Structure 1
Amino acid sequence: MSWRRIPAGAASLSLAAGCWASAPEGMAGNPVIPGYFADPSIVSHDGEWFIYATIDPWGGDTLGLWRSRDFRHWTFSTPDWPTKAAATSPTSGKSKVWAPSVVKTSDGRFWMYVSIGNEIWVGTAAHPAGPWRDANGGKPLIPRDYRPGLHMIDAEAFIDDDGQAYLYWGSGLNWVNGHCFVVKLRPDMVTFDGVPRDVTPAHYFEAPFMLKRDGRYFLTYSWGNTTTDTYQVRYAVGDSPLGPFTEPMDVPILATDRARQVISPGHHAIFRDGGHDLILYHRQALPFVPGGPVRRQIAVDRLIVKGDRLVRVTPTRVGATIHGAAPRRDAARRVTMTASTAEPGHAAAGAGDDDYATGWRAPAGDTWLQADLGTATAATASLIRSATPATPLSFSVSTSSDGVRWRRVVPLSEMTGSPIKVPALGTARYVRLSFPQGADILDWTFPS
């Protein structure tokens, strides 16, 4: 990340609003990631976790990539491939980059299947962080018009115990009529080995993910509408990765639970860690406003398999236990947050509660967020985690010892990424971030 100066602006004052209730201190493991992201895929490599995800709302010109060695402290970047510009064909639609699936083959290579322009592309890399490159000669693996009237999106690769790879994909239009297709892949991970089959089970809309346990194949998927409170995860069971698949019961395994502040969970990945199965999925950011902007966040919870059944998942704010994960994020100095203004449900305190479900948000226009360190002391380096780290964040930094006389110590600059590090600022009691274009800040911490 680098600083880029832009012309300075002034801040104006107005009344602060209330804040959405946060989780008890030290208990907020979910959301995992500080930002608005969806459709996650996860791999572990050389002691490091990599989460690939759609940038909300509805994708970006790139994907989001988060990296962590302790499953608590995540660093954001955007892979060099795919991009909307680089993965475009004569059949491409206007939709952007979303829904990555990343798997590792026995030769150590990584393969990504990703939706771009309502068609499916494939890329490969020697390392999860890349560099990635197109693996199909600059054309989509599955073009948009492959099955007219259906969405050719949400591809998910599965590698069976014998090394045979399969690809699942498919959705519907207008939140109805989803279809699921599956095909064997040849060893090159690009060429189809046979003709794709339609294996659509009951209550399928999109986002297939295959799980195999004790010889049984669990086709899991999403049904409902992610923009409302109806999105959910269901499953069907079969004796073969090619189906047929039958829903064993007419109930979801993960669905809206308003008592737990979980709205429309879905489009998941399942992974194994420490001998346990875990489900990584997105759910609506809080507070959820029906018909409002699509802002989703990523969470992880325990998944239990019992014979040929998947036990209903209990969505939590605590999150799942991950082997080797830090018990919580680094301790930070206690500060009091105030702001010039805030949107309802996003008061300043939300930026200082160590909870990625809450944050401070202010509308477009000059505004500021201020930290009171309690006494004039060394204002050490601090960390900003924007809810939209792929979008440039414009801000300046000022300090004061009395809250009346202010000194600008960092000029108006533009930054992307997460976390954004604000350097040590000398002695001060108050530190103020000024945003000439508004902001959405999930976390602003002063590590102790």
Structure 2
Amino acid sequence: MHAVSRILFALPVILPLISAEAASPVLLPGQVPESGNPILPGYFADPSIVQIDGKNFIYATLDPWGGQTLGCWESPDFKNWTYRQLNWPTQQACHSPTSGNAGVWAPSVILAPDGRYHMAVSVGSEVWIGVADSPLGPWQNSLGDRPLIPADFKPGYHMIDAEWFVDEDQQVYLYWGSGHGWTNGRCFVAKMNSDLTAFAGEIQDVTPSHYFEAPFMVKRQGRYFLMYSDGVTVKDTYQVHYAVGNSPFGPFEEGPTSPILVTDATQHIVSPGHHSVFQRQGRDYILYHRHRIPFEPESVARQTCVDELHFLPDGTLQKVTPTHHGPDFIQNRDETLHRIPGAAASASSTATPLTSPAFVLDSNYATRWTAAPDAHGAWLMIDLGELKSIQHQLIRPEFCWKPFPFAMETSADGEHWNRQADFLQSPSLGSPILIEKSFVARFVRLVFPDTLQGSEISIFEWSLH
């Protein structure tokens, strides 16, 4: 978070008149106000979750296709998430002769039996492992300057999507593997030694039917459920399957209800997959990514969602109904609780009717405002309807890991403006951007420098209270 405790000074920004009207938003399924899914404001894929001491941590790939590091989010309540920067993994720290220039992606994090946190992460087509004493680190390479699984470990297959599994006897296993060209995926598994730095047994190929990548192991009622993804994530065919066995090594037989999580194009839910499973108050949930709305084929802008998962008494999994609402415990986040009745947003421009300024007030991370591509001197304004006392603001930019320069100004009449906060010269990072500045005003606006391209000026939510 970033608290603003002083007013800085920068070059003035010349704005169009504030009378520009907000375009009426075009609503698709999933774009109604207060939808709980997606749960994170941004494009985060391949989510892994740790729950400890009443806190929740999600680690995920930065879309598109990974970045210099990972995305990490922390929440005390599963409603309101704060972006955290990790010191590791980074592309620079996880570099070997076989790592290439690919980004960091597909993390798996656990609190292991040794009492420490262990991460397995893909960098290009190899697996690196790290260790820390707390979920936010500091993290360090477990093996120094080398990966656990180099890219040439199993020629012909991708060494990616490694996932830890801790059995009831505290033995830890590692599952991983994919194919090339969206075909011929293979799943490998091995026991790990006590400090999770080496394999403690033979590596086995346990590939079930319809497997491509993203293995995740769950044990229920004494049986082992190997869950995984198949299809093409940049199309509408990505989906979650499962297979069942009597040991961590199988053999695994695909379940009769597989696949359990698939595209629902009528609801604009496209290519759900690469998931993890967690429990909350004795119930199972699936944490997964799916494409933003609207889906653009061959694009990679995936968002993290959660829905309930049911293991049935007959040893099968019930098909998951992917929703926009999500379970009750993700409802009523701060943007919902602090919505101001009658407030209206307008902007200097908007990229399309699907990126209307009205969306910054709807408490829905499936929607956002984006300025027109050729925007210059862009601004976003909220009319509170009358003079109101404001103490706190939360701003969630589209790309929270990128510098986001802006200034915040207020007015009682829409003609005379006072600058209250300034991030033009020292752009803010993170999400939410927290502005703690008390004022009384009817109009509040954000102004952006000409140096930003229109596509870089984009906000999911702007909450004032």
TM-score, with structure 1 as normaliser: 0.93
Give the C-alpha shift of residue 219 in structure 1: 0.6
Mapped to 1, the partners of 2:10 and 2:105 lie a distance apart of 31
The yes-or-no answer on 1:146 pairing with 2:158 is no
Equivalent residues in 2 for 1:368-379, closer than 5 Å: 368-379=379-390
The residue type paired with residue 458 of structure 2 is: D
Which of 437, 443, 458 pairs up with 1:430? 443
For residue 298 of structure 1, what is the aligned residue in structure 2?
A: 304
**Could you report, residue by residue, the CA deviation over 1:391-436 in whole angstroms, capped at 9, with x for unpaired residues?**
1111112222222333333332411101001232522211111123
Equivalent residues in 2 for 1:193-208, closer than 5 Å: 193-208=200-215
| Contact map agreement 1:88 1:117 (CA 8 A) in 2 | no
Give the C-alpha shift of residue 169 in structure 1: 0.6
Mapped to 1, the partners of 2:217 and 2:324 lie a distance apart of 26
The yes-or-no answer on 1:336 pairing with 2:349 is no
| Contact map agreement 1:262 1:284 (CA 8 A) in 2 | yes
Which of 419, 425, 442 pairs up with 1:408? 419
Mapped to 2, the partners of 1:399 and 1:162 lie a distance apart of 60
- Which deviates more from structure 2 when the two are superposed, residues 69-78 or residues 377-386? 377-386
| Contact map agreement 2:118 2:130 (CA 8 A) in 1 | yes
| Contact map agreement 2:70 2:86 (CA 8 A) in 1 | yes
| Contact map agreement 1:20 1:350 (CA 8 A) in 2 | no
Which of 25, 32, 46 pairs up with 1:39? 46
Q: 2:274 aligns to what SS in structure 1? A: strand
For residue 141 of structure 2, what is the aligned residue in structure 1?
A: 134
**Could you report, residue by residue, the CA deviation over 1:82-132 in whole angstroms, capped at 9, with x for unpaired residues?**
111111111112111111101112232111000113211001111111111
**Could you report, residue by residue, the CA deviation over 1:272-325 in whole angstroms, capped at 9, with x for unpaired residues?**
111111100011011112234x21111111100113211100111121244xx6
Give the C-alpha shift of residue 74 in structure 1: 0.8
| Contact map agreement 2:414 2:443 (CA 8 A) in 1 | yes
Residues 376 and 262 (structure 1), Cα distance of their counterparts in 2 relative to 1, 3 Å cut: same
TM-score, with structure 2 as normaliser: 0.90
- Which deviates more from structure 2 when the two are superposed, residues 142-151 or residues 68-77? 142-151
| Contact map agreement 1:93 1:144 (CA 8 A) in 2 | no
| Contact map agreement 2:39 2:365 (CA 8 A) in 1 | yes
Mapped to 2, the partners of 1:114 and 1:6 lie a distance apart of 41
Mapped to 2, the partners of 1:6 and 1:131 lie a distance apart of 35
Q: 1:379 aligns to what SS in structure 2? A: strand
Q: 2:406 aligns to what SS in structure 1? A: strand
The yes-or-no answer on 1:421 pairing with 2:439 is no
**Could you report, residue by residue, the CA deviation over 1:129-180 in whole angstroms, capped at 9, with x for unpaired residues?**
1111111122101011112222111000001111111101111122222111
Mapped to 1, the partners of 2:26 and 2:444 lie a distance apart of 21
Which of 266, 274, 279 pairs up with 2:273? 266
Which of 407, 429, 444 pairs up with 2:462? 444
Q: 1:90 aligns to what SS in structure 2? A: coil
Residues 251 and 213 (structure 1), Cα distance of their counterparts in 2 relative to 1, 3 Å cut: closer
For residue 174 of structure 1, what is the aligned residue in structure 2?
A: 181
For residue 409 of structure 2, what is the aligned residue in structure 1?
A: 398
Mapped to 2, the partners of 1:38 and 1:266 lie a distance apart of 9
Mapped to 1, the partners of 2:88 and 2:461 lie a distance apart of 29
Unaligned ranges ≥5, structure 2? none
Give the C-alpha shift of residue 385 in structure 1: 0.7
Unaligned ranges ≥5, structure 1? none
Mapped to 1, the partners of 2:92 and 2:310 lie a distance apart of 41
The yes-or-no answer on 1:381 pairing with 2:392 is yes
Residues 173 and 16 (structure 1), Cα distance of their counterparts in 2 relative to 1, 3 Å cut: farther
The yes-or-no answer on 1:356 pairing with 2:365 is yes
Give the C-alpha shift of residue 209 in structure 1: 0.2
| Contact map agreement 1:19 1:350 (CA 8 A) in 2 | no
Mapped to 2, the partners of 1:176 and 1:15 lie a distance apart of 49
Give the C-alpha shift of residue 265 in structure 1: 0.6
Give the C-alpha shift of residue 353 in structure 1: 0.4
- Which deviates more from structure 2 when the two are superposed, residues 247-256 or residues 72-81? 247-256
The residue type paired with residue 168 of structure 1 is: Y
Mapped to 2, the partners of 1:423 and 1:103 lie a distance apart of 35
Q: 2:409 aligns to what SS in structure 1? A: strand
Q: 1:123 aligns to what SS in structure 2? A: strand
Mapped to 2, the partners of 1:90 and 1:342 lie a distance apart of 45
Q: 1:118 aligns to what SS in structure 2? A: coil
**Could you report, residue by residue, the CA deviation over 1:162-211 in whole angstroms, capped at 9, with x for unpaired residues?**
11111011111222221111111111212112231111111111110001
Q: 1:426 aligns to what SS in structure 2? A: strand
Q: 2:358 aligns to what SS in structure 1? A: helix
Q: How many residues align?
A: 443
Of all paired residues, the percent bearing the same amino acid is 49
Give the C-alpha shift of residue 357 in structure 1: 1.1
| Contact map agreement 1:260 1:315 (CA 8 A) in 2 | no
**Could you report, residue by residue, the CA deviation over 1:253-286 in whole angstroms, capped at 9, with x for unpaired residues?**
0011123331111010001111111100011011
- Which deviates more from structure 2 when the two are superposed, residues 16-25 or residues 217-226? 16-25
Residues 340 and 48 (structure 1), Cα distance of their counterparts in 2 relative to 1, 3 Å cut: same
For residue 88 of structure 1, what is the aligned residue in structure 2?
A: 95
Q: 2:180 aligns to what SS in structure 1? A: coil
The residue type paired with residue 282 of structure 1 is: H
Q: 2:225 aligns to what SS in structure 1? A: strand
RMSD: 2.1
Mapped to 1, the partners of 2:203 and 2:12 lie a distance apart of 57
